Amino acid sequence: MASKHFSIKLLIGVLVCALLALGGWFYYQSHLESAMPDYVASGNGRIEAVEYDIATKYAGRLETVSVNEGDMVAAGQRLATMNTDAIEAQLREAQAAWREAQSSRDYVQAMVEVRKSELIYAQREQERAAKLASSGHISQEKLDQANTKYVTAKAMLKAVNIQVTQAESGIEATQAAIARLQVTLDESYLTTPIQGRVLYKLAQPGEVLGSGGNVFTVLDLTDVS
C-alpha cells in the first residue's frame, strides 16, 4: 500500500516538473518576442544564395588583388590582375607586324601600276614590231624580242598581283593575332559578373596560379532564397 502511494506521488511530481518547464518555455518565448522592436520579425529558416568562383583562365602570376573578404562588389568590377608583361610584349610585336604588312601591301600595289604601264608599252611595241615585220622592215629576230618583252611584262604583272593578295592575307593574319592577344589581355583582368559580397579570398599577390585557379568566391546577394 505504501508503495502505491509512493508511485502516485512520484507521478504527480513528474507532471508538476513538466508543467513548470513548459510554462517557463512559454514565458521565455513571449518575453523574448516582446523585447524585440516592432519592426523586427523573428522566425526559423535557412537562407541560401548562389556563389560564384572567380578564377583565372590562363596560368600565370597574380599581380594585384583589389578587394578583401567581406567587401561589396559591383557587377563588372575588377577584383584582381594577372601579370601581363609577356602578353603586352606579344601584342606590340603583332602590332608591328601589322604595320609592316600594311607597308608591304602599299608597296606592291604601287608596283602593280608600274607593271601595268610596262605591259601597255610592251604591247604597243609588239604590235608595232608585228606590222613592221609583215612589211619586211624589221627582222624576225626583232619581232621575237618584242613578243618576249610583251609576254614577260604580262607575267610580271601577274606576279605582282599575287604579291598584293599575299600582303592582304598577311594583314588579316596580323589583325587576327592582335585580336586574339587583346582578348587574352582583357581576360587577365579578373572581374565579377554579379553584384555581391566577397565571401572568400583564395590567393595573394605574387602567387603563381594554374589555368582555372580560384582567386575569389563571390556571394550573389541579388539571388537569395
Q: What is the DSSP string of 10-39?
A: HHHHHHHHHHHHHHHHHHHHHHHHHHS-TT
Q: Are residues 117 and 137 in the same domain?
A: yes
* Terminal Cα distance for the chain, rounded: 63
Q: pLDDT tens digit string along 172-211?
A: 999 999 999 999 999 999 999 999 999 999 999 999 999 9
User: Coil, strand, or helix at residue 176?
Assistant: helix
Q: Are residues 55 and 109 in the same domain?
A: no
What pLDDT score does 134 carry? 87
CATH of the domain at 64: 2.40.50.100
What pLDDT score does 15 carry? 59
Per-residue pLDDT of the chain (225 residues; tens, 9 = 90+): 544 455 565 556 655 565 565 555 555 555 544 444 553 444 444 556 789 999 999 999 999 999 999 999 999 999 999 999 999 999 999 999 999 999 999 999 999 999 999 999 999 999 999 999 888 888 889 989 999 999 999 999 999 999 999 999 999 999 999 999 999 999 999 999 999 999 999 999 999 999 999 999 999 987 656
**Residue 142 phi, psi dihedral angles, 5° rounding:** -65, -40
What pLDDT score does 146 carry? 92
Q: Are residues 39 and 60 in the same domain?
A: no
What pLDDT score does 45 carry? 47
Report the sign of the C-alpha dihedral through residues 210, 78, 83, 202, in that order. Answer: negative
Reference 180, options 89, 118, 87; nearest CA is: 87
Q: Are residues 16 and 60 in the same domain?
A: no
Q: Are residues 180 and 199 in the same domain?
A: no
CATH of the domain at 94: 1.10.287.620
Domain count, the chain: 3
Range of the domain at 151: 85-186
User: pTM of whole model > 0.75?
Assistant: no
Q: How far apart are CA 220 and CA 73, in angstroms?
A: 10
Joined together, the cell numbers standing for residue 53 give 568562383
Q: Are residues 116 and 177 in the same domain?
A: yes
Q: Are residues 109 and 176 in the same domain?
A: yes
Q: Could you give the dihedral angle defined by the CA atoms of residues 103, 113, 145 and 162, in that order, rounded to the nearest 10 degrees? A: 50
Q: Are residues 78 and 164 in the same domain?
A: no
Q: Are residues 77 and 120 in the same domain?
A: no
Q: Are residues 114 and 32 in the same domain?
A: no
What pLDDT score does 222 carry? 78
What pLDDT score does 115 carry? 96
Q: pLDDT tens digit string along 90-114?
A: 999 999 999 999 999 999 999 999 9
Reference 179, options 95, 101, 72, 56; nearest CA is: 95
Please give the DSSP secondary-structure letter assigned to residue 174.
H
Q: Are residues 140 and 205 in the same domain?
A: no
Q: Are residues 137 and 54 in the same domain?
A: no
What pLDDT score does 221 carry? 82
